Amino acid sequence: MLDALNECLQISSSLVDEGQVRSIVDEIKQTITASSSRKRERAERAKAEDFDAEEGELIREENEQEEEVFDQVGEILGTLIKTFKASFLPFFDELSSYLTPMWGKDKTADERRIAICIFDDVAEQCREAALKYYDTYLPFLLEACNDENPDVRQAAVYGLGVCAEFGGSVFKHLVGEALARLDVVIQDPSAKQPDNVMAYDNAVSALGKICQHHRDRINSAQVIPAWLNCLPITGDLIEAKVVHEQLCSMVERSDVELLGPNNQYLPKIVSVFAAVLCGKDLATEQTASRMINLLRRLQQTLPPATLASTWSLLHPQQQMVLQSILSS
């Protein structure tokens, strides 16, 4: 039912009026209330003396179905926020008392993830109009960056990147803590394992947005090379395109901190370009074309010895692919 409602909204969102949005929001409130009530009842059942393994399995299945309900609620709210943007915020205010408890440590990872995704949507779609919520939600978001669940971490670090991009001066005083939280995700020895790689890639993207929008609040000579060292990212293909386009723009404007003293980081930049151009779907066609133009420019302007040493650091396959691209 909720799934069908979301599909209808996506197809006919421009035809939905305020009265219909009101009805949907009221239904969401009732759905969340009823779901919470059912969960409490199941928790009570689990405490009964005659509670057995068979009933335990039944409760587990019912809880999984409940997670699906919350998932669909999150999808519907995401659609409404993307459709109506700031004009949806009065309804979001009404829903806050229903959504805020979902951030709690006593809630399931799925509930926490959904609550974070809803705030991410508000911050991304409503931009300046959403700044008034930062004081309430950013402390939760920062804490969730280091949640033990990788899906919660991914949603939280993605949201941190959104807030860094659109938060302006409201975000500035949190840059230090944001860097510390992201560093924990990025430096984790298991960060690039399959379960964790999406959170890692989103953390790298968020770090890039801090470098881009809050350079005055960071030690850029240290943080920007650290960001470069994380590239390329290859798990989240959406964020990969964003991050690699940002790298391309920084090289185009000869960003001093990115290139480093005496262009010392140039070999790393070339190796990232090579990995992106040899990879699959890691950059848009436009970004790939800009990378090729930059490599051609380097080929023409760099001293032969520098060019040779830079080239020697690439894998043989990358060397072959680049030679083929640059000679065509």
Per-residue pLDDT of 31-43, as tens digits, reads 999 998 998 888 8
What's at 314, amino acid-wise?
L
Place of tokens 């059942």: 45
Is pTM, for the whole model, over 0.75?
yes
pLDDT at residue 161, as a whole number = 98
Domain at 1-6+70-218: CATH code: 1.25.10.10
- Per-residue DSSP letter, 291: H
pLDDT at residue 196, as a whole number = 98
What's at 158, amino acid-wise?
Y
CB-based contact 195:150 (threshold 8 Å): yes
pLDDT at residue 76, as a whole number = 94
Of residues 199 and 50, the one with the higher pLDDT is: 199
What is the 3-state composition of the chain as percent helix, strand, coil, each rounded to the nearest 5? 80, 0, 20
**Beta-sheet strands, E only, within the chain:** none
Answer yes or no: is pLDDT of 13 > 80.
no
Q: How far is CA 323 from the centre of its chain?
A: 34
Q: In whole angstroms, give the CA distance from residue 61 to residue 72.
A: 17
Domain chopping of the chain, boundaries? 1-6+70-218, 219-328
Question: Residues 280-304: what's their mean pLDDT?
Answer: 94
- Residues 242-251 as b/e (b if ≥16 CB within 10 A, e otherwise) read bbbbbbbebb
Residue 107 has a CB neighbour count (10 Å cut-off) of 17
Per-residue pLDDT of 92-104, as tens digits, reads 999 999 999 999 9
Answer yes or no: is pLDDT of 179 > 90.
yes
CB-based contact 57:47 (threshold 8 Å): no
Please choose, from the candidates 125, 220, 109, 119, the residue with its C-alpha nearest in 3D space to the C-alpha of residue 160: 119
Question: Residues 258-263: what's their mean pLDDT?
Answer: 94
Answer yes or no: is pLDDT of 326 > 90.
no
Place of tokens 């609550």: 115
Answer yes or no: is pLDDT of 4 > 90.
no
Q: How many helices (H) and strands (E) does the chain have?
A: 17, 0
Q: In whole angstroms, give the CA distance from residue 207 to residue 215.
A: 11
Phi, psi (deg, nearest 5) at residue 69: -60, -45
